[in-house]
Structure 1
């Protein structure tokens, strides 16, 4: 499995491909402190008005803040609005 990841990393550099696509990484777009758009997640684990936790290929993504509202949710995409205080990657 590690060799496969190394090969993907090499291909990404040599072929000038986006790393998020080839290596199955999340793409996160943060607009100020009010919007966060997350692509390439593997599922919603926890949602409250102060915390969102998403499953990633490797670990979890934790978003903390207040007044959270999910504006869009698709199988691998999520648009969250509210006041975003922290975005953390957790290895599990």
Structure 2
């Protein structure tokens, strides 16, 4: 049943004007150079320091490693990180 649901959502995103990341509930990441990362559709902040940002996602976690991190913006569904981004990983629960 889940396979059909995922296929329907993907089809719906293709035939509608609604972006796929919104329909599927997956994060959208925009990396500008190596020093600014915008993340949409996250659930919550799990950890933050000058070298690490960990976010809970709808499914799993997002781990970001680097240096000199500063949270430029933090909203309910969007977060903007400044600093040198060295690594971005999706981790399944």
In the TM superposition, residue 16 of structure 1 has moved relative to its aligned partner by 5.5
Give distance in 1, aligned partners of 2:3 and 2:49.
35
TM-score (norm 1): 0.92
Paired positions, count = 92
- 2:43 is equivalent to residue 55 of structure 1: no
- After TM superposition, what 4+ stretches of structure 1 lie above 4 angstroms from structure 2? none
Give distance in 2, aligned partners of 1:76 and 1:17.
16
Deviations 1:30-73 (A, max 9, x none): 00110000011001001011110001101111110011010110
**Residue correspondence of structure 1 range 5-24 to structure 2 within 5 A:** 5-15=6-16, 17-24=18-25
Change (3 A) 1:31 1:10: same
Any unmatched runs of 5+ in structure 1?
none
Give distance in 2, aligned partners of 1:33 and 1:41.
20
Any unmatched runs of 5+ in structure 2?
none
Residue in 2 that maps onto 1:28: 29
Compare 7-16 and 20-29 and name the one that shifted more: 7-16
Give distance in 1, aligned partners of 2:3 and 2:59.
13
In the TM superposition, residue 4 of structure 1 has moved relative to its aligned partner by 1.7
